Amino acid sequence: TAVIRELFKQSDKHLGKSIRVHGWVRTVRVSKSFGFIELNDGTFFANLQVVFEENLDNFAEVARLVTGSAITVTGTLVESPGAKQPFELKAESIEVVGTCAPDYPLQKKRHTFEFLRTIAHLRPRTNTFAAVFRVRSLAAFAIHKFFQERNFVYVHTPVITGSDAEGAGEMFRVTTLDFDRTPRNEAGQVDFTRDFFGRETGLTVSGQLEAETYCQAFGRVYTFGPTFRAENSHTPRHAAEFWMIEPEIAFADLQDDMRLAEDMMKYVIGYVLDNAPEEMDFFNKFVDKSLLARLANVLQSDFGHVTYTEAIDILKNAPEKFEYPVEWGADLQTEHERYLAEKHMQKPVFVTDYPKQIKAFYMRLNDDQKTVAAMDLLVPGVGEIIGGSQREERLAYLEQRMAELGLSHEDYWWYLDLRKYGGTKHAGFGLGFERLIMYLTGMGNIRDVISFPRTPKNAEF
């Protein structure tokens, strides 16, 4: 059995040979004595043209095939007289494997992304989503390849956890549906705080703290897994469940961290451009006409660097009118981030040294005592794609910061141990995988780059 991708990539090997392919019918055109099927098997962007003639035993059945049917074709691959395709499959037999009901929603016309979200179980069959999810798969592979080639150890951190890694109170609680087994207090009310066999737990918001523990053993580690945020956000770039890549490096500072992030981003962009040229051309044509030029540019230039304080100045002097106020001490909003990356720098830019009050407890305090050694990477079209920092390795500083924020020693004692036992300076970051896919494809909505988005009103599948 051949796959269509191989036929296109190595057609000389298969021309003149008898082959068998499985796939789904995209379109059928029939005349009296012959017909054409555009066949797609999910392995490649282009369809394979199948030609069939009256001599098929089941010509009438094949002639009635509709979009969406599954078939197996045996035949010979021959050069095509038509100009549209280099070769075609001359069918000797066509087996109808699965017929397709007439109410199939994916008829040959353009559908809106909004509509396709309501049929998330069928949308990977469309060209756009086939391209998105192929790029997503390649990008995931590229990330592993990048880190593995650099001696990083891949660590699987837990999904159910007892600590809030960001200290931001955005955790989903883990509880049982079996109310009879749920612990109760003296008044007989359900006690959710002891729900996980006597402890309060939630779904992880980040694997960072656990990754830090492995970093202090392996020197260089990364995680790559699902993370969860209980935010009722209705934006094109927030989801309640998303995938995050979190490297952590020992004996390293913020500069090392940013170098790693820039190298990784360029590696993944290069890998996807090299390994999915058809998909990337498609995005450039139908989704974002400046995509390829922009990505090529990124590979050729250094990322920008500004401090948060400089960024505030830039935004205050911008000709743009922003919806949200720009003020030292306030967090940057998407509109600010996009202005900095798209208009001011016109390329990816690191913003560093944010005020400590808008960043997480674990970030290393700078000498000015007001800012922390944080970095966000902002990219055109998306805004924040990476958040990272040098970590506070000084036990006393960390304990003080945790006390200020009301984080209890009891929940983080193991994290504090790292600072007692051979602690090193270290740094890391988190790359939002869906935002990376948005950036790589030009797709404008996070709901369209994750298979089954978990956003408000999107948990049906």
Which residue ranges make up the site for Mg ion (CB under 5 A)?
387
Contacts of ligand 4AD in 360-399 (CB under 6 A): 384-389
Please report how close the Cβ of residue 242 comes to ligand 4AD at its closest, in angstroms.
4
The residue among 387 and 442 lying less far from Mg ion, judged by its C-beta, is 387
Give the E-state strand segments of 179-288 in sequence order.
Answer: 202-203, 220-228, 241-250
CB atoms within 10 A of CB 290: 12
Please report how close the Cβ of residue 430 comes to Mg ion at its closest, in angstroms.
8
Contacts of ligand 4AD in 163-182 (CB under 6 A): 165-166
The DSSP bridge partners found for residue 388 are 375, 429
Contacted by 167, from ligand 4AD, Mg ion, none: CB < 5 to 8 Å by type: none
The residue among 358 and 459 lying less far from Mg ion, judged by its C-beta, is 358
C-alpha 357/C-alpha 364 separation (Å) is 12
Which span sits near ligand 4AD by CB under 6 A: 64-72, 278-286, 405-413, 423-431? 423-431
Please report how close the Cβ of residue 146 comes to ligand 4AD at its closest, in angstroms.
16
The DSSP bridge partners found for residue 51 are 36, 90
How far is CA 129 from each of CA 119, 185, 196, 334, 380, rounded to the nearest angstrom? 12, 49, 38, 26, 22
Please report how close the Cβ of residue 388 comes to ligand 4AD at its closest, in angstroms.
4
Contacted by 166, from Mg ion, ligand 4AD, none: CB < 5 to 8 Å by type: ligand 4AD
Please report how close the Cβ of residue 183 comes to ligand 4AD at its closest, in angstroms.
30
C-alpha 268/C-alpha 226 separation (Å) is 19
C-alpha 420/C-alpha 449 separation (Å) is 42
C-alpha 321/C-alpha 453 separation (Å) is 32
Instruction: List Cβ neighbours of 346 (8 Å cut-off, separation of 6 or more).
Output: 380
- Select from 383, 386, 387 the least CA-distant residue to 335: 383
Interface pattern 216-255 for ligand 4AD (x via CB under 6 A):
-------------x-x------xx--x-x-x---------
Please report how close the Cβ of residue 204 comes to Mg ion at its closest, in angstroms.
15
Encoded amino acid at 220, one letter:
R
C-alpha 205/C-alpha 243 separation (Å) is 10
Q: Are 215 and 251 in contact (CB under 8 A)?
A: no
Contacts of ligand 4AD in 196-215 (CB under 6 A): 206, 208
The residue among 35 and 388 lying less far from ligand 4AD, judged by its C-beta, is 388
C-alpha 441/C-alpha 291 separation (Å) is 7
Q: Which residue has the tokens 């001011």?
A: 344
Which span sits near ligand 4AD by CB under 6 A: 13-21, 44-52, 107-115, 429-437? 429-437
The residue among 315 and 450 lying less far from ligand 4AD, judged by its C-beta, is 450
The residue among 130 and 372 lying less far from ligand 4AD, judged by its C-beta, is 372
Q: How many residues bind ligand 4AD (CB under 6 A)?
A: 24
The residue among 23 and 387 lying less far from Mg ion, judged by its C-beta, is 387
Please report how close the Cβ of residue 431 comes to Mg ion at its closest, in angstroms.
11
C-alpha 135/C-alpha 277 separation (Å) is 10
Residue selected from 35, 68, 202, 432 as contacting ligand 4AD according to rule CB under 6 A: 432
Does residue 448 bind ligand 4AD (CB under 6 A)? no
Please report how close the Cβ of residue 360 comes to ligand 4AD at its closest, in angstroms.
7
Instruction: List Cβ neighbours of 427 (8 Å cut-off, separation of 6 or more).
Output: 248, 249, 252, 253, 254, 256, 257, 373, 388, 389, 390, 391
The residue among 120 and 375 lying less far from Mg ion, judged by its C-beta, is 375
Give the E-state strand segments of 31-69 in sequence order.
Answer: 34-40, 48-53
The residue among 355 and 423 lying less far from Mg ion, judged by its C-beta, is 355
Residue selected from 88, 210, 393, 434 as contacting ligand 4AD according to rule CB under 6 A: 434
The residue among 353 and 384 lying less far from ligand 4AD, judged by its C-beta, is 384
- Select from 375, 379, 430, 423 the least CA-distant residue to 398: 423
Please report how close the Cβ of residue 168 comes to ligand 4AD at its closest, in angstroms.
8
The residue among 381 and 430 lying less far from Mg ion, judged by its C-beta, is 430
Q: Are 433 and 140 in contact (CB under 8 A)?
A: yes
How far is CA 301 from each of CA 262, 296, 318, 339, rounded to the nearest angstrom? 11, 9, 24, 19
The residue among 7 and 252 lying less far from ligand 4AD, judged by its C-beta, is 252
- Segment (H or E) for 337: helix 334-338
Q: Which residue has the tokens 């703290």?
A: 209
Contacted by 272, from Mg ion, ligand 4AD, none: CB < 5 to 8 Å by type: none
Longest dimension (CA), the chain: 85
* Residue numbers at the binding site for ligand 4AD (CB under 6 A): 165-166, 206, 208, 229, 231, 238-239, 242, 244, 246, 384-389, 428-430, 432, 434-435, 446
